[in-house]
Structure 1
Amino acid sequence: MKLKLLFICLFALVCNSYSQEKKLPQGWDEVILEGKPAYMNLITGDIITNFPSKPALKKVKVAEYDPTQIHIVKKGETLSVIARKYNLSLAEMYRLNSVENFDKIKIGQEIVVGYDEKTIEPINEKYTDTTTTDYHTVVSGETLYRIAKNYNISVSQLKSLNNLTNNIIAIGQELKVK
């Protein structure tokens, strides 16, 4: 009888702990990314796939200048409409974007439409660690700015590491990030 009662209590405790919903820390919201749960920092806009353990904090670092000019796709827009709006050819649109299939552009998608001529020297010191080299393979929709941000380096450093003279990258391209 005692064993049965112990089993019931243990079962109830386990069920209760699994049924309780985890509460998101302050400043986070749950979103769906590629059909899976993800979490958006409401202050910075960053998205992570692991459940956040700390409240969202405002970044203190000075943001580097992003030379990328983007267009956010709106309802009813096609690639041709966007290209005409920015006086670009479809060939130029394909060259500017690392997107595999422009036939499936979606509302809210970022499309690169150009790069500002303005350049700002990075505030950070030049990265000189040559003990190991890490690479990043470019995937659809990425820009140099987003890749540099992910690896905590400047766009200038990323371009220097890869001997790039412009901001054009291609899907599948391997970039040194360290």
Structure 2
Amino acid sequence: MSIILIGFMGAGKSTVAKLLSDDFIDLDKMIEQQIEMPISTFFDLFGEDDFRQVEQEVFEAAIHMNFVIATGGGIVENAGNLDVLGFQTQVVYLKSDFDVLWQRILKDDKNQRPLAKNKEFARKLFEKRAPVYEEVADLVIVVDNKQPDKIVQEIRDWQGNL
């Protein structure tokens, strides 16, 4: 069964996934391979609705691979994805304060985030998504001021108790 990491942009999903397993999927990278362009370019050309459809198709395929999956922050924006998450038993929400996340987003030069160009818009997205992350999560880990290896250990300890 897949371990699925969810949370807002900048929560550390990809970093934690890499540490949890060599067999991990960064869903955003998998999507970029399928669409053959950066997600930000796809957003500009086709919009968020088309992106969410592609994301759902790639996510549904990834679930069957039984790997650790680092999702994009907007995975909860699509009802189909919520259905898939609802059937999973190892959904881990990496939870953080918005201001901490915003600082991480600003410092991240590697990832272009099409929905994080404006702090207030990003804050509204965060406030909309946070309760949904909580609802679908089987485990919630507050990641503020925690090193990635500590987060990984919490996930492993939790898995040992399943």
Question: With structure 2 as the length reference, what TM-score do the two structures score?
Answer: 0.20
Bigger share in helix: 2
**Which structure has the larger Rg over C-alpha atoms?**
1
Between structures 1 and 2, the one with greater strand share: 1
TM-score by length of 1: 0.19
Greater relative CO, 1 or 2 (CA 8 Å, sep 6+)? 2
